[in-house]
Amino acid sequence: MTHPLKQFNFCPKCGSNNFIENNEKSKRCTDCGFIYYFNSSAAVVAIIKNDNNEILVAKRAKEPAKGTFDLPGGFVDMYETAEQAVAREVLEETRLVIASAEYLFSIPNIYVYSGFEVHTVDMFFSCSVKDFSRLKAQDDVEELLFINKKQLNPNDFGLTSIRQGIEKMLNS
């Protein structure tokens, strides 16, 4: 796998192509002196259970991993907490309103978007929902379904971090 800094050839501050590797985490512009650190993007994942101990699973409508299972979630926007992001993403993808969100764990991931490798840290939350009557697949979700926790197969999930999160949840 190519190091993520290889994707950046020009200084984002002055536009110079004298943008060289500074160390394993950064590049430095020899013209203006700007140092760019490549850090992970924050993403959130919702684990939502209904009263039958079934997990809400989304079928992906778009690449990457189109047609595979996923859990509701997405990127954290600027000026947004992780808790606000998980509530927003769940609302956008399912129309459900989160009553509470409890942080569980995080997993690093590489999410390929438009051919660009975005390094993320995916934060998993246990989310409670009081009213499922508004449930409807939308945004980048093709279909929503509830699957009994005992019947979840991590191999049905197309994104590495989600697959690992399902495995971690099943083993706890």
Active site residues per annotation = 143
Contact criterion met (CB below 8 Å) for 44 and 76? yes
Give the start-end residues of each E strand in the chain: 19-23, 26-29, 35-37, 41-48, 54-60, 69-70, 73-75, 98-113, 116-129, 141-148
Contact criterion met (CB below 8 Å) for 155 and 162? no
Which residue type occupies 170? Answer: L
CA 77 vs CA 65, 82, 90: distances in Å: 22, 9, 14
- As a whole number of Å, the end-to-end CA separation of the chain is 31
In the block, residue with structure tokens 């994707």: 7
